[in-house]
Structure 1
Amino acid sequence: MAPRVLISDKLSKTAVQIFKDRGVEVDYLPDLGKDKEKLLEIIGNYDGLAIRSNTKVTEKVIAAAKNLRVIGRAGIGVDNVDIPAATAKGIIVMNTPFGNSITTAEHAIAMIFATARQIPEANASTQAGKWEKNRFMGVEVTGKTLGIIGCGNIGSIVAERGVGLKMRVIAFDPFLSPERAVDLGVEKVELDELFRRADFITLHTPLIDKTRGIIDAKAIAQMKDGVRIINCARGGLVVEKDLAEALKSGKVAGAGFDVFEEEPATENVLFGLPNVVATPHLGASTTEAQENVALQVAEQMSDYLTKGAVSNALNMPSITAEEAPRLTPFVKLAEQLGSFAGQLTESGIKAIRLEYEGDVAEMNVRALTAAALAAVLRPQLQTINMVSAPAVAKERGIAVEEVRREQQGAYENYIRLTVTTERQERSVAGTVFGDVKPRIIQIKGINMEAELGPHMLYVTNKDKPGFIGRFASLLGGEGINIATFNLGRKAAGEDAIALIGLDEEISDSVLDRVSGLEGVVQAKRLNF
């Protein structure tokens, strides 16, 4: 059955066609997002939900979305989506961070010019029949220092434009590498230095606890007299009342704001000040940007629903359409290793370590780790999946470690999963051969090769003569057929492991009899 998507806000009709062309059924109901009750009534029928800002995807909506697998936001901001609730239910939340990047960056540049030359005030004065040439004395941007707070996707575009305008560009961004700074032609600085040196300051950072109020009275006090401040990113990055005071005193010569702490902003402490240029959140408002984000969200959601590719997800590692086929057998291996360890774990988990060796170490291991975590935790939390597993592990205080290294042994690729509990440490390792079928190759340091089937029996025993005969006789007497039989041991007469594939699941009574066989330390039923 083809996946089905609901579009509940106004999107380009081209997006509808993209869904259809890629084998996805789509219902275009652009006004539905405003009707909460109707949305609740029908959301359970869909695999995907494509939205803009009008649709509020609350916890209640997510609870009603029985089949929903992905939410796609045409745009950057996802304030209207309850991401923790979506994550807990295993729903991927995607946005389109690049579709409106150029448009937003250009708006910031426009704000720089508008504040430098007082264009809105000069326009209003001139159209009122005044000719106040001496009143509107501006400043050139050439040769001025542009300070960029946040030099990610949009900030880097602003940086390039600033360099093109012959400005000296400095940037504060903890994640900006020295090499990337050189490529952009910017100087990486600390925040205090940016405040001291910049003639224009523009913000391009998300609103998080660390960035909320990043420009306040204390920050403004460090700035040059006559600085101009631009915010086309997020309301709340600047303490508006502190900025208003600085604008009135002349400490700040001008401000260009496209975003505000409370939106829609019908009233604001900045409104009415002659040196403020205000626009109603127009950063993404160009015909090109609206088309781009609509097409991008349709492509991303279609790729996920039809190919398993994940891009621009806020709660899931990205998997490109190209790497998805190559990753698939390794995801299955990670799931099998995790399931094996999870089914054998009977006490609280303290830590999980995943070691990737050889070819697999060069792959998208975040996706593999997410798959393994979900499988480890599934015996305790039935509804967990790749999306929710990393968050759940973090909430439960489980330390997760990833180790990558080059090939060291005989296997071209190799994954070892180690679970540390309150009582013990258990590891299991596996590989994917040329037939792309995952194999178990080591359990608790004991080498063996086994392909996992739906019904398995895991037995640890002392390596003594007669065990295999007694075991096979018991199952034969019960009419249970053995599909595969894999053995391994540390050394003659020491600890041994048997991993047996069965045609059917054995009953509790038979499992008890196996556990009672001479030499058996543990017998555990496993299902894959």
Structure 2
Amino acid sequence: MRILANDGIDATGKQLLEEAGFEVDTNHIPQEELAGKLNSYDAITVRSATKVRQELIDASPNIKAIGRGGVGMDNIDVEYARSKGIAVLNTPAASSLSVAELVFGHLLNGVRFLYDSNRNMPSKGNTNFAALKKAYAKGVELRGKTLGVVGFGRIGRETAKVALGLGMDVIYTDLFDGPKSLSLTFSGDTVVELPVKQASFEEVLKQSDFITLHVPFLDKPAIGKDEFALLKDGVGLVNASRGGVIDELELVKALENGKVAFAALDVFDNEPTPRIEVLSHPRISLTPHIGAATNEAQQRIGVELATLLIDALKK
């Protein structure tokens, strides 16, 4: 059986598949050429770049499994594929810590103005050092502040644990009843149980000093014009979930009028061509959809994806 890892797969995962008797092709086939070539394979693995829509599924009747290395599967027509008897698999747990750490990279970046300082120091640091020092002199600490977590699944909970470890208070909202505390494991196997509070979406918007979103994009942004009006003045926002979860045009307005102090985006409405208003804004910290892009996460994803594919294809 042949597997096309069209967006790549970690070497450990590839080795597991090959040891199980599969041929793994890691040569990327461009999206526009997939319909003519995918039927030569028994399965495909993707990340966020490759889209597996109904037309491609119909053109590839030999495909028995589609694997998504990561959490969200909005680039796959999941229900249609399953209606055709195709196994659709993902790896929701493998990248949680990597995304959580990126969220805090952005938060620390934001409260100390590092994203803007790194833009300006190379061009102005040797001519206007004193003015830059003054411009970035009003940083704040995260300890003692309230982090609002929208969506308390695996990634939301891992992000909350980092916040608790830094001494923040955590308030969260979710569609389902969640925990009242989380367990943190420190070096030496010390385990500490710390409280978290579940609240309504509106309460989270009103009470949080910083907000991080970990929800899928549904039919409209989770934070749009009406939601921006509810936020604390000077809030910091982070979106490392899906593009569109925050209304980007309303975000720019909120940054301009001071409602939002800074924002951080790892995902964008029009990937891979984000809006120039977002890319050039001096109070937005930016990364190019790299939440799961750590060596450790990719190895975990590769191993989990390989295990799931072996199980699905050898039934």
Q: TM-score range by the shorter chain?
A: 0.7 to 0.9
Partner of 1:204: 214
Higher relative contact order (CA 8 A, sep 6+): 2
Q: CA deviation at 1:48?
A: 2.1
Residues 159 and 184 in structure 1, CA contact (< 8 A), matched pair in contact too: no
Residues 72 and 216 in structure 2, CA contact (< 8 A), matched pair in contact too: no
Look up the SS of the partner of 1:202 in the other structure.
strand
Distance 1:249 1:9 in 2: 40
Cα deviation 1:265-315 (Å, max 9, x = unaligned): 343432322221111112122222222222221111012222x4xxxxxxx
Q: 1:115 aligns with which of 100, 110, 117?
A: 110
Q: CA deviation at 1:45?
A: 4.1
Output the TM-score relative to the length of structure 2: 0.88
Q: CA deviation at 1:174?
A: 2.1
Q: 1:242 aligns with which of 242, 245, 250?
A: 250
What amino acid is aligned across from residue 165 of structure 1 in structure 2?
L
Q: Where do residues 88-487 of structure 1 align in structure 2 (5 Å cutoff)?
A: 88-128=83-123, 129=125, 130-131=128-129, 132-136=132-136, 137-179=138-180, 185-209=195-219, 212-306=220-314, 308=315
Distance 1:241 1:9 in 2: 31
Partner of 1:391: none
Q: Does 1:53 align with 2:61?
A: no
Distance 1:70 1:208 in 2: 25
Look up the SS of the partner of 1:156 in the other structure.
helix
Q: CA deviation at 1:81?
A: 1.9
Partner of 1:25: 22
- Over 3 Å counting, the alpha-carbon distance change for 1:84 and 1:197 in structure 2 is same
Cα deviation 1:399-447 (Å, max 9, x = unaligned): xxxxxxxxxxxxxxxxxxxxxxxxxxxxxxxxxxxxxxxxxxxxxxxxx
Residues 236 and 260 in structure 2, CA contact (< 8 A), matched pair in contact too: yes
Q: Count residues in correspondence.
A: 300
Partner of 2:187: none
- Over 3 Å counting, the alpha-carbon distance change for 1:248 and 1:84 in structure 2 is same
Mark the structure with the bigger radius of gyration. 1
Distance 2:37 2:205 in 1: 51
- Over 3 Å counting, the alpha-carbon distance change for 1:190 and 1:258 in structure 2 is same
Q: Percent identity?
A: 36
Q: CA deviation at 1:20?
A: 1.9
Partner of 1:452: none
Q: CA RMSD in A?
A: 2.1
Please state which structure has a larger fraction of its residues in strand: 1
Partner of 1:337: none
Distance 1:297 1:59 in 2: 22
Look up the SS of the partner of 1:143 in the other structure.
coil
Cα deviation 1:232-271 (Å, max 9, x = unaligned): 1111111111111111111111111111111113434323
Distance 2:282 2:40 in 1: 52
Where does structure 1 lack aligned partners over 5 or more consecutive residues? Answer: 309-528
Output the TM-score relative to the length of structure 1: 0.54
Residues 156 and 184 in structure 1, CA contact (< 8 A), matched pair in contact too: no
Look up the SS of the partner of 1:72 in the other structure.
strand
- Over 3 Å counting, the alpha-carbon distance change for 1:10 and 1:152 in structure 2 is same
Distance 1:35 1:276 in 2: 31
What amino acid is aligned across from residue 238 of structure 1 in structure 2?
I
- Over 3 Å counting, the alpha-carbon distance change for 1:9 and 1:230 in structure 2 is closer
Distance 1:110 1:173 in 2: 24
Q: 2:8 aligns with which of 4, 7, 10?
A: 10
